[in-house]
Chains A and B, each alone.
Chain A
Amino acid sequence: MKLTDISNDINEWFNGSGPLADIVVSSRIRLARNIAGHKFLSHCSNTEKSEILKKLRDVLMSLKLGDKIFYISVDKAPTLSRHFLVERHLISRHHAFGKGPRGVVIARKEFFTAMINEEDHLRLQVLKAGCQLSQCFEQINNIDNMIEQKVDFAFSPRYGYLTACPTNLGTGVRVSVMLHLPALKMTGQIEKFFSAARDMTLAVRGLFGEGTEAASDLYQISNQVTLGISELDIISQFENIIIPEIVEYENAARNQLLSKQTDILDDKISRAMALLQNAHLISSQEALFLLSHLRLGINMHKYMGASTPAIEKLYALCGTPKDVDKTNPLSIATINRLFMLTLPAHLQLNYGKSLDPTHRDALRAQIIRSALNQDTPQKS
């Protein structure tokens, strides 16, 4: 399989479906494991790393996952391919640009990836669209059980699964959800969300942008405590306390925009539309920022029945609400596709060669213009 087989479309977990999809974009669970009898990677020679890589690769490639799986040798992959895998959340930046023999096993539909020789010997992850943490865990736990039939993992009765960094010790589980929080940002409440998350010992980071300041208004929250609390308890905290609370805050902010700050809301949506439909040069950061506002408009109409002048106009472009997510050009899936396919490595991989930033900005603007201007259903 070639990367260009997947680079022309979004992955399934980013298609805007699933429970609470207007705010919870996707769910992810990661497990960290190390093979018993081997040193951690910082103290492994390249020969030992290759040995671990071969052992785990053979086991993973023999798994029956109900989907085709393929393997990429990350240390030998071209730089552009590595950037692409990071943009697509299939591997971490650390893995892409680390040292020594390492690789990744990926399910064709991208719901499962396994990084071999990242910080730990094995980092498994399962991703799904919307709020589906329990389903993610069920699947990753089954995969982990299958692997455990063939490999012994480093485990201690007291500390649980042993990991290279003590912060992953115990369950080795990292539970994350990707959240779209544009209304909290617009109403100036995003800092409150950050500090509330920190109080609950959760880690927050911005996605598709630099630092925690996410241009796309997409944030990822994850657990930090992995020891002394079971996998199911961590997940239940997310599903029953953390996620409902954040969803409530974001919805309250969306209602506030709708009832008291319609001008601000409409201004953001209208400007985003005007710029995206007409710009000839657009940076990745600007595109992410503007697409976020279109996504907010579409979701507010779809989930809250909002109909402000700007949202109405957006919907004239979308066609009748019945068509949403099917044939019209402006579904959430379309917005997400534009989000991902206009990221730098995606652009270049799909174009077939590397481009300088100005050419990328021109190509990005062209892709967005044609998606937002063509096939506009005629209103009769």
Chain B
Amino acid sequence: MQCQICNKNSATIHLTEITDGVRTEMHICEHCAAEQDIAVKSHIPINELLSSLLAVQPTDDELSGASEQKLACPNCGFTLAQFRKEGVLGCPYDYEVFEKSLLPLIEKAHNGKTTHCGKLPSKTSKNTKNEIELLSLRQQLQAAVQSEDYELAAKLRDKISQIEK
């Protein structure tokens, strides 16, 4: 699509404006957008992004009945209000205490992923290693079922029951 103003560059900015119920669309290039003083915010600071993500979470909490919003971590005293301000957690334990609120955010920050895959500490016990593998296998199983790949799902199920023995 070409820019509506200069008719030269390709339009990369698409604006939709609704004034008094009338919808108007504009397709322009970045150069013309700059000239028209239409600011394109290309870089949102990560803290801002995180807090805005978190700000939309309360509905989930209400649904699940969790009272994490008012909770303080018994280990470090951390609250979600502090997280909104600073964008960092208070202690490793917070990942458990505030799991319901943090999970959707973790999912968004990591392209939908919520389970670690990769390096394990060298001192990891066999039980922990099994636990990690089970977590990953269960997630793969869920994906296989969703994509109706039942052959793969059956294989994964067998693997899971083998480890669980």
Contact = CB atoms under 8 A, between A and B. Distances in A.
User: Do these two chains really belong together in a complex?
Assistant: yes
Given A166-B109, A230-B118, A230-B119, 12 more contacts: A39-B75, A39-B90, A39-B91, A42-B88, A119-B88, A157-B116, A159-B106, A160-B117, A161-B119, A166-B95, A226-B110, A227-B115
A229 interface: yes
A171 B115 CA distance: 11
A160 B116 contact: yes
A159 B118 contact: no
Contacts of A224: 109
B88 A159 contact: no
B110 A162 contact: no
A198 B120 CA distance: 29
A152 B121 contact: yes
Interface residues of B, number: 43
Interface of A: 34, 36, 38-43, 119, 141, 144-145, 148-149, 152-162, 164-167, 169-171, 173, 191, 194-195, 198, 201, 211-212, 224-233
Contact of B117 (A198, A212, A229): A229
B92 A154 contact: yes
B116 A228 contact: yes
A164 B88 contact: yes
Given A39-B76, A157-B128, A158-B116, A195 B92 contact: no
Nearest to B131: A157
For the complex of A and B, the 5 pairs showing the least CB-CB separation, nearest first, are A228-B113, A160-B116, A230-B118, A43-B90, A227-B110
Contacts, number: 137
A224 B106 CA distance: 12
Contacts of B115: 158-159, 227-228
Contact of B111 (A152, A158, A212, A225): A225
A148 B113 contact: no
B122 A145 contact: yes
Contacts of B43: 211-212
Contacts of A42: 82, 86, 88-90
Given A227-B116, A228-B116, A40 B90 contact: yes
B160 interface: no
Contacts of A154: 92
A195 B77 CA distance: 40
Interface in B74-100: 75-78, 82, 86-92, 95-96
Contacts of B90: 39-40, 42-43
A162 B114 contact: no
B63 to A, nearest CB: 21
B102 A166 contact: yes
B68 interface: no
10 contacts: A42-B89, A43-B90, A43-B91, A165-B46, A166-B50, A167-B109, A169-B110, A227-B109, A227-B110, A228-B111
Select the residue from A40, A145, A160, A227 with max chain B CB neighbours within 10 A: A227
A195 B111 contact: no
Interface in B114-141: 114-124, 128, 131-132, 135
B128 A231 contact: no
Nearest to B86: A42
A191 B34 CA distance: 13
B28 interface: no
B135 A36 contact: no
B153 interface: no
B92 A162 contact: yes
A149 B118 contact: no
A159 B46 CA distance: 20
Nearest to A41: B88
Contact of B89 (A38, A144, A164, A229): A164
B50 A153 contact: no
B105 interface: yes
A154 B95 CA distance: 11
A127 B86 CA distance: 29
Nearest to B91: A39
Select the residue from B46, B110, B131, B135 with max chain A CB neighbours within 10 A: B110
A212 B110 contact: no
Nearest to B40: A191
B24 to A, nearest CB: 24
B117 A230 contact: yes
B67 interface: no
B161 to A, nearest CB: 19
Contacts of A198: 42
Select the residue from B86, B105, B106, B135 with max chain A CB neighbours within 10 A: B106
Contact of B110 (A40, A152, A228, A233): A228
B4 interface: no
Contacts of A159: 95, 106, 114-116
